[in-house]
Amino acid sequence: MKRLGKFVLRFVALVIVLVLAFVVSSKVWTWQDDRKAELTTTGPYTADLESLKKHPLPKWFQDAKFGVMIHWGLYSVPGFAPKGKTFPQLLATEYGHAMTHNPYAEDYANSMKDPESPTGVYHREHYGDAPYSDFTKQFDAGLAQWDPDRWAAQFKAAGASYIVVTAKYADGYSMWPTQVRNPHAPDFHAQRDLMGELATAVRKQGLKFGMYYSGGVDWTFQTKRVNTLGDYSFLHYGEDYRQYAVAQVRELINRYKPDILWNDISWPTGSKRLYAVIADYYNTVPEGVIDDRLTTASLGRQFMSPKPMRWVFDQLMHGLLKLPDAADSISTPQEVPHSDFRTPEYAGFDSIQTKFWQQDRGIGGSFGYNRNEGEADYTKSPELIGELAKASANNGAFLLNVGPSGGAGEIVPAQLSRLTDIGAWLKTNREAYDGTRPWTQSSAKTAAGDTVTFTQRGGDLYATVLGKPKGDIVIQGVTLKGPATHLGVPAAVAVTATGGNTTLKGADGSYAPVYRLKIS
């Protein structure tokens, strides 16, 4: 017993020493990383959290309810990914290779590394053993047909207020002639200023210009195959990548002054260096906004990078993600100390949120162009319009992705038709969205079972019925008074309120009619 007691004491002492050593090491790592924080601008914002929190959410962004995201890059050339299962479904059922079997065509550069994956098989059949970088030749050849002004006109016609385009995805290819040298792939960037041309085109149409940057993942700096969430989250990135990401994002800020800085996955430095970049951004673009995908690096995250530690993490996650709805929670990033808006993916909030948010989703299962997807795989226009309406009613916006094909950047007809449908609907009903704010409640139900969403501007309340109502619409549990107008229809609409319900007379069967009522 005495020997056992001594062993236990020694074990406890060892654990305490290891914990203390880890805490001290973490403090040292943070101190060393913080020393590299550099503010390159002068202005009202400094590299500390309290300063950044003073940045107000710009009115233009609160007013804008619909934007278009564009995933376009070398992966647009092969344009391939398997379909059939969503990413959350893969996590729950095929965790061990979820990252190489996922439905995201933009992940081609990683998925092709797995010879057993559908992408690996497709690549061998069509391109043999050619490296991913070979797609630059076909992409560049297609650029002769790319027309940024055409894109901008299409997005304007769709009713979008802003766009967000992939400046650098996880494949590491920079879509502008960057002057920041990649030590592992020095020439892996566009020679033509694709970002500059697109920025000019969309701003000429009166749209805001946003840029996506994959800060947390770059497969030119980390070449191991990513199979699991553990690999995706914890494979090691060194100081060379931290310096590279900081320099590239500052280059994007100074060169293009993006209205939205949309980082993905996480951020490779500690907090102080991140805050310096954000402060530089706000000082350069005072009415710019940043998203919430900015979980910072730490010694703890690097501690998880060895394979045994990732294995432990993956075993825990594999079990956890089998629980009901657990995989779906991956789609909503956890809140970070500072951001301007939240970004749930293929998901939304069903209640009015205090913090502004933006639902991000593709038209199909992939963000990048996937030649496997066709009309039957794309979400129908009424559902997309419904997502826009629900997001707006709950203090959010809707960012719908298109995946153009090849270097020519052709938006495939089935995707373009969705944009056209949304644009036609917004042409009639835009006043119920742009510039509005949430009402006291975000939604109700009709007696027929349709959802009704509400937005408000001053004394005007807008009710959108997400269905094809014909005849009388009975909104349950809401008492409203007239007069009312069906947007796009000149005749007044009779309104009666009885028994705690409101009846709107004479719906014509059109999809998602919007009614304007005076509430003050």
Q: Read off the pLDDT band of 114 (50, 70, 90).
A: very high
Going by the DSSP 8-state scheme, the letter that residue 405 receives in this structure is: B
What pLDDT score does 302 carry?
79
CA separation, residue 45 to residues 55, 61, 374 (Å): 8, 20, 47
Strand order across the 208-214 sheet: 289-290, 260-264, 208-214, 162-168, 66-70, 396-402, 357-362
* Separation between Cα atoms, residue 161 and residue 283, nearest integer Å: 23
Identity of the residue numbered 93: T
Contact 109, 132 (CB under 8 A): yes
The gap from C-alpha 75 to its chain's centroid, in whole angstroms, comes to 18
Write out pLDDT tens, residues 265-322.
Answer: 999 999 999 999 999 999 999 999 999 999 998 877 778 889 989 999 999 988 888 8
What is the SS3 assignment for 440?
A: strand
| Helix%, strand%, coil% for the chain, nearest 5 | 40, 20, 40
Write out pLDDT tens, residues 36-90.
Answer: 999 999 999 999 999 999 999 999 999 999 999 999 999 999 999 999 888 888 8
Place of tokens 């990914």: 81
Spell out where 403-494 has E strands: 437-445, 451-457, 460-466, 470-475, 484-486, 492-493
What is the SS3 assignment for 148?
A: helix
What pLDDT score does 77 carry?
98
SS3 sequence of 262-296:
EEECCCCCCHHHHHHHHHHHHHHCCCCEECCCCCC
In 3D space, the residue among 408, 391, 409 whose CA is nearest the CA of residue 400 turns out to be 391
H or E segment at 167? strand 162-168
Mean pLDDT over residues 382-393, rounded? 98
Beta bridge partners of 443: 453
Return the number of other C-beta atoms located less than 10 Å from residue 213's C-beta. Answer: 22
H or E segment at 309? helix 307-320
pLDDT surpasses 70 at 8? no
Q: Give 44's contacts (C-beta < 8 A, 6+ positions apart).
A: 51, 54, 282, 283
- 376-382 long-range Cβ contacts below 8 angstroms, 24+ apart: 377/83, 378/414, 378/415, 378/418, 379/418, 381/417, 381/418, 381/421, 381/422, 381/425, 382/466, 382/511, 382/512
Instruction: Dig out the tokens for 490 from the structure.
Output: 């000149």
In 3D space, the residue among 189, 187, 160, 195 whose CA is nearest the CA of residue 173 turns out to be 189
* Separation between Cα atoms, residue 58 and residue 338, nearest integer Å: 15
Strands 484-486 vs 66-70: parallel, antiparallel or unpaired: unpaired
Place of tokens 């053993």: 129
208 Rama sector, left if φ>0, alpha if ψ -120 to 50, beta otherwise? beta
Contact 259, 212 (CB under 8 A): no
In terms of average pLDDT, the best of 28-32, 322-326, 493-497 is 493-497
In 3D space, the residue among 255, 383, 324 whose CA is nearest the CA of residue 92 turns out to be 324
DSSP 37-91: ------SS--SSHHHHTTPPPPHHHHH--EEEEE--SGGGTT-----SS-HHHHH
Write out pLDDT tens, residues 320-368.
Answer: 888 877 767 777 888 999 999 999 999 999 999 999 999 999 999 999 9
Mean pLDDT over residues 431-457, rounded? 97
What pLDDT score does 88 carry?
87
Write out pLDDT tens, residues 38-52.
Answer: 999 999 999 999 999
Write out pLDDT tens, residues 198-231.
Answer: 999 999 999 999 999 999 999 999 999 999 989 9
* Mean pLDDT of the residues in the chain: 93
Q: Read off the pLDDT band of 24 (50, 70, 90).
A: low
What pLDDT score does 27 carry?
67
Contact 314, 95 (CB under 8 A): yes
Q: Walk me through the domains of the chain, giving residue ranges and CATH numbers.
A: 49-432 (3.20.20.80), 437-518 (2.60.40.1180)
* Separation between Cα atoms, residue 310 and residue 444, nearest integer Å: 46
What pLDDT score does 18 carry?
45
* Separation between Cα atoms, residue 346 and residue 328, nearest integer Å: 9
